[in-house]
Structure 1
Amino acid sequence: MQSVTWERTWQPYLTRLAATAEERNWADDETFLAAFLRGWPPNSRSRQMAYDRARRLWKAAAWSWPEALAPLRGNGKAAAAPQGVRSFSDAEIEQLRAAIHQSRLTAVDGVAWDCMIVFGLRPKELQALELQHREGVLVAVVSRSKQTSRGSSGARIIPAVPPAGWPADCHRLLDRWRSHGLSPALLSTRSPGQTLTQQLRRLHLPEELTSYGLRHAFALRLGLELGLHVREAAELMGHSPAVHLATYGRRLDGPGLLAKVAGLKAGREVSAQTVKGVEIAN
């Protein structure tokens, strides 16, 4: 395990586990671990990770894990904010591009950001990326696979889906890719997402926006503007339909629900007027 992996994904949980153990003399493992897990919000991703880290430690130590704790792990559905994911709007994307142009960032940095915008990439996927024209369509060939507790994704081909109003060549993205490529520093860093988000902070965009906000915007374009089925959109984004719905369902369903309710209300009003007209006629 690399030191960065330990510091980011293990140490915070095991440090709190040790702190919980020191609080008192616990009657048994189940009581102790339940108190530890309740230190994170119910159904949050952080509680899931705490559960998984502790269970793996117990397994490595050949201790008996209390299976009665399973409901405390939750399903993560409450982790998303009620208003849905925070994505870039089209106006914020244009603000980002203008800020990059006016800053000390280079043409190489602009290529990375535009790839994130039009292909909805995970920041790490920039490190295993090739742009091509296939049958007249600009595509990204992503060769990096991703393995998580929620599933895995392999290599995939993603067609460019830029924001509305962009030219078909996505501001000459392929030519710029061939001329400039990507920054060696970005290609070699362990956390491209952190590097890109730090650039956002220096560009003075809203604090709640991160590099992942461009991936969220891409997902919403696929569903709201192109009308792709959840399964199709999930395949392009490299995750499962279940994850796609859990992450974007509230935003994708919202406009359709509003339109449906408006249509039903209009139909009800027409019916009421028809009945009233009949009554007057009689």
Structure 2
Amino acid sequence: MTKNTQVNSLHALDPQIQTLNTRLANARMGIQIERRGEKLNLRGTLPPKPGSDRLRPHQQRLSLGLPATKQGLKQIEQEAKVIAAQLIQKSFVWHDYLAVGSGKRLSQLELADQIQAFEKSFFGMAHRMVNPAATKTTWNAAYAPYLRKLEATQAMHQSLTLPECIYKTIQLIDINTRGRQLCCTALAAFSEFLNLELPTALKTLAGGYGKHRTQARQLPSDAEILAAWQQIPNPAWQFVYGVMATYGLRNHEVFFCDYSALLQGDTRVEVLASTKTGSHAVWAFYPEWIEQFGLRTMMLPSINTDLTQTTLQRIGQRVTAQFRRYGIPFSPYDLRHAWAVRTIHMGLADTVAAKMMGHSVAVHTRTYHQWMTRRDQQQAVDVALQRRASMLSES
């Protein structure tokens, strides 16, 4: 076909496009077809694209990559009807129509490329750009492992559809576990990104983890915490241990704190915004441990905390490794949990304790109140009775 013949063929479609647009307008579809060179597009009042600073629907062009041919015209008429129905039902989403790097739409990509597009979208969300280190830690710990499992499932069961692979991946993880919960959360977010319709909501498959099956822990007593600190030979790691015990910090948070108030005589430290849950202040429980652990003299170990080269998760793993190296008979997180239970004994309001720990009140009460053992309960009773006896003696 010569160039002139091809141009004439394209122009010959224009009257058909005009006729089709009249039909769409009479049906009040709100969508029109247009030819741009050798491609057919749709145009209509559409919701703002992801990342747009526009707040309301406005006239936009939607490129579907269809050729300006008779067959392409038939296809785009069907697409126009589908999109018009989605707009009426307010179910239209851009993700399935936006072309990614290869020029293909999400639904046309291989699974590995879909996951790569999801990762790019995950990191590009505005609220996640505020704290990139925490976002990277969340992706590496709570999303990437389960998306890799999904890829492995698809590779082993190539006859299954993507929704079937998603359900299969979840079923491979024990129910009522943290892993099952994270898997459901990650794959639900991925499915939503792809605008993938699933017959059963994934959150219903997570089981009861975190609601009714939180396991009780035998946390170290105050005496055991003090004894374990003494067996650490390195003063810098003694400082890390002492701060975690006194302030209930996460492993990595010790390395991302403002200690200026503490060094000036206060009992407060400020966890920086670069941590998992952002900036928040924490007070010592017990204050006397500040002197006992020598925390007025700041002495952190020399480890890489450059978050362009490492992650919060790796820094936390370094702390765990040192605990094992020094033979500490409990995990670093047990110091955090013991701090939380200690604040309950001392009558600190759950709303205040939860804020200092950087999580919600619901998580705080659901988790730590269930971990109070008979020993903890006896201690709480003793404190309450001592407080009553003191009040009676004063009266």
Same fold per superposition (TM over 0.5)? yes
2: distance between equivalents of 1:39 and 1:78? 22
2: distance between equivalents of 1:211 and 1:154? 20
1:168 is displaced (CA, Å) by 6.1
**Gaps (5+ residues) in structure 1?**
148-152, 261-282
Residues 1:237 and 2:369 aligned together: no
Partner letter of residue 198 of structure 1? A
Partner of 1:17: 150
Partner letter of residue 115 of structure 1? V
Alignment match of 1:184 (pick from 295, 298, 302): 302
Between structure 1 and structure 2, the one with the greater Rg is: 2
Residues 1:194 and 2:328 aligned together: no
Alignment match of 1:56 (pick from 165, 181, 189): 189
Report which of the two has the higher share of helix.
1
- Contact 2:252 2:315 (C-alpha < 8 Å) held by counterparts: yes
- Contact 2:239 2:293 (C-alpha < 8 Å) held by counterparts: no
- Give 3-state SS (helix, strand or coil) of 1:54's partner: helix
Alignment match of 1:139 (pick from 244, 264, 268): 268
Identity of aligned residues (%): 28
204 and 46 in structure 1: CA distance in 2 versus 1, 3 angstrom threshold: same
Structure scoring higher RCO (CA < 8 A, sep ≥ 6) equals 1
- Give 3-state SS (helix, strand or coil) of 1:100's partner: coil
Alignment match of 1:80 (pick from 214, 217, 232): 214
97 and 37 in structure 1: CA distance in 2 versus 1, 3 angstrom threshold: same
Q: Can you list the C-alpha shifts for 1:6-32, whole angstroms capped at 9, x where unaligned? A: 664444323332343324744x65554
12 and 136 in structure 1: CA distance in 2 versus 1, 3 angstrom threshold: closer
Q: Can you list the C-alpha shifts for 1:221-265, whole angstroms capped at 9, x where unaligned? A: 1012x12222222122121110102221212486559999xxxxx
Partner of 1:90: 222
Q: Normalising by structure 2, report the TM-score.
A: 0.52
2: distance between equivalents of 1:125 and 1:113? 12
**Matched ranges for 1:96-111 at <5 A:** 96-101=228-233, 105=234, 107-111=235-239
Q: Can you list the C-alpha shifts for 1:57-102, whole angstroms capped at 9, x where unaligned? A: 3334443233444311345325521xx135332233123212113x
Residues 1:40 and 2:173 aligned together: yes
Residues 1:204 and 2:327 aligned together: yes
- Give 3-state SS (helix, strand or coil) of 2:181's partner: helix
- Contact 1:129 1:142 (C-alpha < 8 Å) held by counterparts: yes
Partner of 1:219: 340
- Give 3-state SS (helix, strand or coil) of 2:291's partner: coil
100 and 34 in structure 1: CA distance in 2 versus 1, 3 angstrom threshold: same
Partner letter of residue 138 of structure 1? T
69 and 116 in structure 1: CA distance in 2 versus 1, 3 angstrom threshold: closer
**Gaps (5+ residues) in structure 2?**
1-118, 120-132, 382-395
- Give 3-state SS (helix, strand or coil) of 1:88's partner: coil
- Give 3-state SS (helix, strand or coil) of 2:267's partner: strand
30 and 96 in structure 1: CA distance in 2 versus 1, 3 angstrom threshold: same
Q: How large is the Cα RMSD of the aligned pairs?
A: 3.4
